[in-house]
Structure 1
């Protein structure tokens, strides 16, 4: 399938602007460039508030006023290759998932590499997830209805946390996840340049993330596709979203396939005409709006209160 017409127009616009790719910048410059690209909020939720999630900064998105029936809770980890991104860069996504699903969202502001290489960001996400489970009732949420999710590097964290099983989880939302940091799939060759995320860009991100020499691409905490069958089989139901013109396409598909083969209820939805990052661009791409609706609906179903 060819590149989606809206996606092609957007990529041509990015090329015309002539902004240097992230891998040609210092991390601080790349973060500033990403901050300038923060999309607008299209689907505002009821309210947001800052939260200290066990010492990790976070933001709570509420679908309704506090005091009503407990909702479910999605603990969300933003993308950005473990190097860029923050609460603001994915504010639109968290608003949309909260307002569309009817469940709360806790967005985690984990530490970034290379200043804080692996496993610092993962440790923060683990801490925040445990804190969310332990404090769910105080947040107006049901501790039995917690999900983890994220996009790109954020969904890498979500997958790893689902495999580690440190708290009971009802769902995992994995949006074009990094599941194999060895970067040796066919989609890396097919989509190495020209589609926003490049092979060199991913190499830059992984190099920064692993710069502390505390882990490697063969570590299942870095490449969750390498987790054991038992770890994967014990995970919660999953939605995996992939894009056709994405270096991460094949590893996302392989992860979804492996979960399904091991008996995990898994939906894999592929957007063949899209590129990496499209999910954040609902103000520009119809496929992103459709993907928001899909993700929110499956999240709503997974976190619905049990039938009485």
Structure 2
């Protein structure tokens, strides 16, 4: 793990969770919420949806369209197109988090609307198929099919791929695949605490300060559902950190919270990209935990991070080609 006072990552002074996050976790504990890995699949999905419903509706859009996209194997997946104005300047393809196992486009509707409003970009929320009903590589194939659909349905606009956690993983995967397959041009990838590696024994996985809304037990649960065969987890489409060649990929923006079991692999992937010559911007979220980004109606740190991401997208879209 790179030192936190290294020139690349910048100096960060360790701190406790911010007050809003600590209070939020206290309320969840008082409500008797069980750890995710102890729940049934149905209960876990319900809990995840209830958690994200706290973010409210988000700002109004000029147009909202629910569409269906055909994946590579002929399966149909839902997507939601959020258009903030009559003259959007680009498209953000957003993949939700949830360990490839829980989550939906409804859960990220609010954060999608905020991103659309603050960037004046159309945001396409992708409802990729979930494990264990649809294990790896279904989600990655759906993610790429959605990117290709956007390029055809919304032509002539710069494209940003973005996602949190498992969605960050899928963003990294499609960014590499479109390079290899000669697919749609991506102008920026926004990787919000992405899962990039199947190694669950990094130090950050065992750090007591990181065992919060997401802990090591939950990540074991997620990987067991998504890629039940451990031998397949080293596939770069599951663990993008293990790809041999990361050169020629789109510029990347990382959002890494201070308290996160995935922090080490996120930093490692950022460093690999930088070494491969990819422009990298790493935004640290002091006092924040994994899963904070979509909770825009709950945690002030979410809106602060969203503002920084929007600024990065704005800079990427105004940069001369």
8 A Cα contact 2:210 2:259, kept in partner: no
Distance in 1 between residues matched to 2:136 and 2:233, nearest whole Å: 11
Matched, 1:146 2:159: yes
Call closer, same or farther: CA 1:246–1:191 in 2, change over 3 Å. farther
Matched, 1:43 2:59: yes
Q: CA deviation at 1:15?
A: 1.1
> Partner residue of 2:5?
none
Alignment of 1:162-181 (within 5 A): 162-165=175-178, 166-181=183-198
> Partner residue of 2:296?
282
Matched, 1:17 2:35: no
Q: TM-score, normalised by structure 1?
A: 0.91
8 A Cα contact 2:204 2:210, kept in partner: no
Distance in 1 between residues matched to 2:95 and 2:47, nearest whole Å: 20
Matched, 1:91 2:102: no
Q: CA deviation at 1:278?
A: 0.9
Matched, 1:136 2:154: yes
Matched, 1:203 2:220: yes
Q: CA deviation at 1:305?
A: 8.1
8 A Cα contact 2:210 2:260, kept in partner: no
Distance in 2 between residues matched to 1:42 and 1:110, nearest whole Å: 22
Farther-moved stretch of structure 1 (215-224 vs 285-294): 215-224
Of 156, 170, 174, the residue aligned with 1:157 is 170
> What is the number of equivalent residue pairs in this alignment?
296
Distance in 1 between residues matched to 2:221 and 2:191, nearest whole Å: 22
Query: 1:255 aligns to what SS in structure 2?
Result: helix
Q: CA deviation at 1:214?
A: 9.3
Root-mean-square deviation (CA), in Å?
1.8
8 A Cα contact 1:245 1:273, kept in partner: yes
Call closer, same or farther: CA 1:184–1:60 in 2, change over 3 Å. same
8 A Cα contact 1:182 1:217, kept in partner: no
8 A Cα contact 2:234 2:242, kept in partner: yes
8 A Cα contact 1:191 1:246, kept in partner: no
Query: 2:194 aligns to what SS in structure 1?
Result: coil
Query: 1:253 aligns to what SS in structure 2?
Result: helix
Call closer, same or farther: CA 1:43–1:277 in 2, change over 3 Å. same
Alignment of 1:144-293 (within 5 A): 145-165=158-178, 166-191=183-208, 194-211=211-228, 213=229, 216-229=232-245, 232-293=246-307
Call closer, same or farther: CA 1:305–1:189 in 2, change over 3 Å. closer
> Partner residue of 1:301?
315
Gapped regions of structure 2 (runs ≥ 5) = 1-14, 71-75
Distance in 2 between residues matched to 1:191 and 1:265, nearest whole Å: 32
Deviations 1:191-239 (A, max 9, x none): 476411010000000100013x49622111111011123xx22110111
